[in-house]
Each structure stands twice: as structure tokens, then as C-alpha cells.
Chain A
Amino acid sequence: MIGITAWGAYIPRARLSKQAMADANTWFDAGLKSLARGERSICNWDEDTITMAVEAGRDCLSALKDNTVASLYLASTTLPFLDRQNSVVVTEALNLDKHIRTMDISASQRAATSALISLLESNVQNNAMLVGSEHRRSKAGSRAEMLWGDAAAAVTVGSDDVVAEFLGAETRAEDFVDHYRGQDAEFDYDWEERWIRDEGFLKSVPAAVNALLDSAAISAGDITRFILPTDQARTPGAVAKKIGINVDAIVDNQITTCGVAGVAQPILLLAGVLEKSNPGDLILLVGFGQGCDALLFRATEQIENCKPLLGVAGALARRREEHNYNRFLSFNNLIERDIGKRSEADKQTFLSGYNRRKDLLTAFIGGRCRECGTVQIPKEKYCVNPECNALESQDDAIFSDKTGTVKTWTADRLTFDWSPPAYFGMVEFDGGGKLMMDFTEVEEGSIDSGSKVSMHFRIKQFDSQRGFRKYFWKASPL
């Protein structure tokens, strides 16, 4: 049996109030008032498609028995690098084996569902991971900005401990241009919603789904959950009705809690459905874009055994209210903010130096001394224990999954930071090792000496002059 073996999810903690967004923009477009309900997820300044993919991947690995995968595909239309395989950065941050197969899939809102079909229909090794991740880009004051959200989700495909058996898939490829983003464009250009619904969704989705149901010999009325990712609130209902799927089966697109997360959306919704499924449930997953993909799954008895650390419900619940629309504009470079002369220092990454330190910077690997047992980070030639100082005595020790305790800290308002104050301090890790490091996701008053923290892969700095960005691990209050 081939199918889904585990899932994981990540949604940025910050949730921007849609009322705050509307308040800033209805002077121009009064129609936005109708969308001013609930909130959407927004990346912190130090989050992007890669960092969210690492979090979702980590959550998914936590549900696998052996915590590893043989391949990792990353699907997104907002990959930070056009030529530097983004999925490889994710695998290194997840400390996955270097023999892993990797690939980035892009260029369509159905990139993730197409990749998932490809994995399910190939003779995959246990397990293959697919991560969908999207840090959405939209113009200030647009409807898209109100409807979309940032998120990532991951599933693994394999043949052991399958939680949702793959029953088949159908693809309908047609160059229906509801929207597009050209090579040099920063934002999407789209066409009228009603036309997209009538000529797009209502034509290609039924065609693909009906073909799939025919070949699987399953009737539309038996579908338990119907996932149709779209920012058009009423379209899933219209499509379901046309196909004959029960209205109860329609899966909500989370427009008022998270926002539609682009390529990540079908995987995020699938993960959310799996989290609540019972054995035997029939799950129909659609991906729409230049035609559509349709995939059919049946939940197995194993479904109750899959428990990622966070999951979709956990990711949705772990939130921080944000009411400052200006901050969202700044974080997404939608406004040219005066960030001070201290920001002008050159931030070049010296790639040979980066390569030497990659184990530390991406994988967050330190050392454990074979002579005295002292755990330390960074790993250096001599052991840090003053009673030992042994030469080249350290084995790799992974720090990314460690928790720690804040020894010293500050909230620095002098140094440059995209979201001042800059919180940083000395963290002592459980099991040994300490490091002066940046903190992230700190709310005022939430940190003090003695606070417990966990580790998160985040953007360290942007080199806007050269289009590069540095990543490193940061501590967040537990």
C-alpha cells in the first residue's frame, strides 16, 4: 500500500487583524470592508519560505518513527533563491542524510499537488517528504492581501505505516490563465473572479474529479472530505454541488484564521483533514492552476497513531495578535522605511567562509568532547573545558532540537534590527553547551534570566545589495 505516512504544519505566530488592514485601506477600496473579518498569518521579518519549510518539515519528522526521510521536495512559488536549490537548505537545517534526493517545484498553484502525485506514482523509498511553503507577495491594499496568508505544511509518502491510502489521481492540464507572475514581475496579475469561477474551477475541477471517481469506482456522494484550495469563499460549494459532493464534506479554506497559503494550501488543508479523520474516510484533494490535479485517499487504521508535535490545530492555536498594518508593510518591503544609518553596513556573506561554517550555521551542529564529555558550540579545534582543552576531540552534537535556559539577555534599541528592540542573550542548553544568540518571537515581558527557550531556523540578515540572505538559529521563549 502506498500513501501518506505522516504530516506536519507551520503557521507563523503573528496574525494580522483584517480590521486593521481594512482600516488602513478602505479609503481607497471600500469593498475591502466585506473582507474585514478575522485575521491572517504573516511572516515575521526573519521568516520566509525556507524557514517555514524547516519548521513544517521538523513537525512532520516528529511523527515518523525513525525521524528521517529519503527524499525532500519543496514546492513553492516564493522560493528565496531562483538558482540555489532551496530544498537543500531545508534538508541541511533538518540534519537529513546527504544521500537524500531533493528538488524544488514551482511555477503553479498546483505545484504541490503535482509533486505529490509524482511521488505517489513513483516507487518511492520510505519515506519521501513533500513540503509546501509560501510567503505570499501581494500589493498593499489589494484583496489578495486580505485573503492570503503565509504558511507551510509537509507530508511524507511511503509504504509502511500508511495513514491515508492513495487510491488514484487525475490531472487536467490546460493553460487557463486566471493569474500569472512574469519573470520580472514582483506581484501577480489576475482576471475577474467570476470568470475564473465559471470558466476555470467549474469546468476543469469536475472534469478531473469525475474521471478520477470513475476510475476508482467511487461515487461523489461517498466523499468524506473535499479539499479545494481557493481564495474564492463560495467556489468550493459551487464545485461540490456540480460534482455531487455533500456540502458537509467541503473543507474550509481558513480565510479568516490563516489566509490562503498558496502552494502550501492543499498540503496544509490535507494535513488538517488527516488530523481529524477517522479510518475509512475518503479524502478528495484538488490543486487548481493551469488546469487541476485531483487525488483520492482513504484513511487507514493507522491514522490515529500519527501525532506530530504541533500539527495544524497546534499551529493555528499558537498565535500572537498583530494590529499594526505598517509593520506588515515593512516586513514585506511594501514601503520604504527609514531604518537608520546603522542598517547601511555592508552585509556581504563570504561564501567560502560560509561553507566552512555550514554545519554550525545551517545544521546547528556543535561538539561533544570524547575526552571529557563537555558539550559545546561552536565546535572548535580545542575542547572549551579549561580542565580538558583536548585537540580535535569533538564528535558532532546537534543543537537544533535542544531546549535551553536564558542566562543573560537584553532588549537592544541601539543596534539595527528590522523589528526593534533586538532581543539576544546567553543561552545555556539542556545537556550542555552555551551560546550568545539572537532571540525571536519575544513579546515584551516574556523573557528573563531563567526563561526556557527552543531553537528555530530564521533569517539572520539580508544582503539586499547582492540578493543574498543569511540564516541562523534563534531562541524563542517556550
Chain B
Amino acid sequence: MASGIKDKVVILGMGCSKFGERWESSPSDLMVEAFEECIQDAGIERNQIEAAWFGAGIDAFGVGASAMPLAIALRLNYIPVTKVENMCATGTEAFRGAVYAVASGACDIALALGVEKLKDTGYGGLPQRTRGVENDMYWPNLSAPGAFAQLATGYRAKHGLNKADLKRAMAHVSVKSHANGTKNPKAHLRRAITEEQAINAPYIAEPIGLFDCCGVSDGAACAIVTTPEIARSLGKDNRISVKALQLAVSNGTESGHESWDGSYLKTTRIATQRAYDEAGIKDPKKELSMTEVHDCFSITELVTMEDLQLADEGHAVNDVLDGKFDADGNTPCQIDGGLKCFGHPIGASGLRMIYENYLQFQGRAGDRQLADPTLGLNHNLGGFPHQNICSISIIGAYD
């Protein structure tokens, strides 16, 4: 019987570049920026890294194929480097590879780095790209907001909500994240907005408006992981460990079988329960200090609150409007601004979420520091509501 990942691996150091429209920066520049912060934080030499996992989501517009871009950018010492890609859940995949490598005993110190260079397309939004030879022949040419708007119409139909009530709750999600983003110097979007602004913004994909969408950003984030024992021997007392790492990948049931009604994320529910079991969490509403969720769109965050068992089914609208996930709420969500305002460089986002846990648990989160956080959940989602990849990582103080 597998014993799970809980407390087998700790984070030795982390780094994150500034996210945003980094017109002047190449993917390599972004990688180096995140890595330099990370390795200094870890307090080790580059040559102590024994293996690396490299995440980049959209090859055609980013770094190019294979693991070589990372090895070259960081001048890694001919160590094994694995390239991973799982759409917007890529960052957590890189982290999972490094953590599993250490947990297995195959190496003592491993690196995970995710990067994305999205602002080289010449237009707003994510790059227009192929979905594969066969899929391109019959899939709708759906944009990301178009895909997630489906979740809004599905959720609204399931719970019999009127358009205005759901839109107001979606607006609250974005207003909260913008408020949090103003306190994060590395965030892409650092301007507060009002509920009226969010509600009245033009539609991108009905009912998703401009302020329901996250930032499309350039950026990189990375982590160096090791065992608790090695971390202690390196003088790390305030250790942060991995409590759970779970991944659920759609098998086509949601998109092809009537058992899924389009109002929730099946993968999130499955991965979340597995993660709670792995971490030994019985009551997430009480036990979790914070969440970083994949708020690619406001509706995703709202529905995810239910899928994470932080809101009862059908009650997310009220819980959101009641402020339960605001900075001063019961379980603050996106205290760093989230994808919404920190930004969403695809390959980096999963690691950026963990980076915020790491800062918060060490009391290093500056103006946005929460009071005594100890346990955080990160929800990193790739794909579309009807067909997706969901990663859940739970990070906490190592006892």
C-alpha cells in the first residue's frame, strides 16, 4: 500500500520572476530571474542540483521543444532534465516530477521550473494554436474564455440562478483578486477595480467579461526540493513540506457521457478528495489557511470553491458575496492576486501558487501577509471544463 507523499519532501528554496508584459525579456531571461532568487534562497550551488523538471505549456510560441532550453538557460551541469507539458497545469507537473524524484530516493536535490512567454503573439489573449490534426477538424475553435463560459451557463442552468446574481458574484471574485494584487509587487495587474466596472465591462465570451479574465503574462517560477533531513543539515529550520500532490486527468467521460452536466469540474472533485486523503485533511473549511486556485476566469474560481468542498454545492454565489474567500475571510483565496492579477504565464502558474504558500508560511509575504497560515491548497487546472487536467498540491509547515 502506497504511503503517499506527505512530509517526505520539503522545499529548500523558491523563486518567481515578476509577471507581466515583459516585452524586454526572453524566456531565458525569465528563467534566470526566477532561478537566481531560488538558488540564493536555497543556499546551495548549482552543481548540487541532481535532476530537473522543466515545464512550458505552449511550445510553438515559447521556448521550443525539449528540456534543452532550461539546461542551456541555467547552464545546468549535464544533469537529467525532463520536459513536461500538461496545458495550464504544467507548473505543478514540473513540481511533481522533482518531488517524486526526491521522495523515491533517486536524488537528493531536484529543481522544478516553469516558464511561459505569451506576449510574443501580437494580439491579446492566449495564442491561437492547433489542437491536433483530428481535433481541429470538428472541435469548435474555442477560446479559453469561450470554453469556461460554458461552465457559467452550465452552473447557472443547474442551480436555476438568474444571470445578474451569478454575474455579481463573478464580479466579487475579480474585485477581491484585484484588491489583493495591489499589495503584490510582482503582480502583473496592480490596480483595484469596482464591482460595477467588472459587471459593465464588455463581454469576451458571454457571460465572461473583460474583468472576469485573468492576465495573459510572461513569467517564470521555480522550486528546489530535497528531503527534510538534508534541509535541516543545510540549516533550514522553518521547513515547508509537501502534504499532498494529486492529479486527475479527464478520460472523455465529461465530454461524451451524460453523467456530467457541465456545472462543475469532475477532475477537481476527484483530485481534491485524493489530496485531502493523502494530507489527512478531514475538514478543509477549518484546516486550510489559504487557497491558490486556478482562477483563469472568475467563474472557475467560484465553481472551484464547491469542488474543493469549501462551499456547499449551489452555495458558492452566496459564500463569495459573503466574503468567505476575501483576504479577511474564513479561507482567503488568491491572496497574491491569483492568476487574475499576479498573472498567468501558463507553465509557471502552478509553481507560482506554491511560491505564495512558501512565502506566507515563512512570514515573508509583505503587505499581504496572512496571520499564522500553516496549510495551503493549490489548484492548477489545464484544458476546458469538459476535458481537462487538474492538479492539487497541498503545502504546509513541516512539523
Do A353 and B145 contact each other (CB < 8 Å), given the known contacts A376-B256, A421-B205?
Answer: no
Q: Which secondary structure dominates where chain B touches chain A?
A: loop
Q: Does A408 contact B (CB under 8 A)?
A: yes
In the complex, residue of chain B having the shortest beta-carbon distance to the beta carbon of A439: B140
In the complex, residue of chain B having the shortest beta-carbon distance to the beta carbon of A358: B137
A411 contacts B203, C-beta separation under 8 Å: yes
Q: Across the interface, which residues of B come within 8 angstroms of A380, CB to CB?
A: 252
Q: Does B82 contact A (CB under 8 A)?
A: no
Q: Does B262 contact A (CB under 8 A)?
A: yes
Do A426 and B137 contact each other (CB < 8 Å), given the known contacts A345-B130, A410-B205, A410-B206?
Answer: no
Do A449 and B156 contact each other (CB < 8 Å), given the known contacts A408-B151, A426-B262, A428-B258?
Answer: yes
Q: Name B137's contact: one of A361, A411, A421 (CB within 8 Å).
A: A361
Q: Name B141's contact: one of A377, A416, A428, A449 (CB within 8 Å).
A: A416
* Closest Cβ–Cβ distance, residue A175 to chain B (whole Å): 44
A413 contacts B204, C-beta separation under 8 Å: yes
B139 contacts A354, C-beta separation under 8 Å: no
B257 contacts A460, C-beta separation under 8 Å: no
B258 contacts A357, C-beta separation under 8 Å: no
Q: Does B261 contact A (CB under 8 A)?
A: yes
Q: Does A85 contact B (CB under 8 A)?
A: no
Q: Does B69 contact A (CB under 8 A)?
A: no
Q: Across the interface, which residues of B come within 8 angstroms of A374, CB to CB?
A: 257
B146 contacts A412, C-beta separation under 8 Å: yes
A350 contacts B157, C-beta separation under 8 Å: no
A460 contacts B137, C-beta separation under 8 Å: yes
Do A414 and B205 contact each other (CB < 8 Å), given the known contacts A424-B146, A437-B140, A450-B157?
Answer: yes
Mask, A448-464, CB within 8 Å of B = 1, is: 11100000000011000
Q: Across the interface, which residues of B come within 8 angstroms of A182, CB to CB?
A: none
A357 contacts B122, C-beta separation under 8 Å: no
Q: Does A422 contact B (CB under 8 A)?
A: yes
A341 to B127, CA, bound (A): 10
Pick the most buried of A378, A407, A408, A424: most chain B CB atoms within 10 A of its CB.
A408
Q: Does A349 contact B (CB under 8 A)?
A: yes
In the complex, residue of chain A having the shortest beta-carbon distance to the beta carbon of B207: A410
A345 to B145, CA, bound (A): 19
Q: Does A273 contact B (CB under 8 A)?
A: no
Do A411 and B258 contact each other (CB < 8 Å), given the known contacts A416-B141, A422-B141?
Answer: no
Q: Does A472 contact B (CB under 8 A)?
A: yes
Q: Name A341's contact: one of B122, B129, B146, B259 (CB within 8 Å).
A: B122
Q: Does B149 contact A (CB under 8 A)?
A: yes
A425 to B251, CA, bound (A): 19
> Contacts A410-B145, A410-B152, A415-B205 given; 20 further ones with Cβ under 8 A?
A341-B121, A384-B256, A409-B149, A409-B153, A410-B206, A412-B142, A413-B202, A413-B203, A414-B145, A414-B204, A415-B142, A416-B128, A422-B142, A422-B146, A434-B255, A434-B256, A436-B255, A448-B153, A450-B157, A472-B137
Interface residues of B (CB under 8 A from A): 121-125, 128-130, 133-134, 136-143, 145-146, 149-154, 156-157, 202-208, 251-253, 255-259, 261-262, 385-386
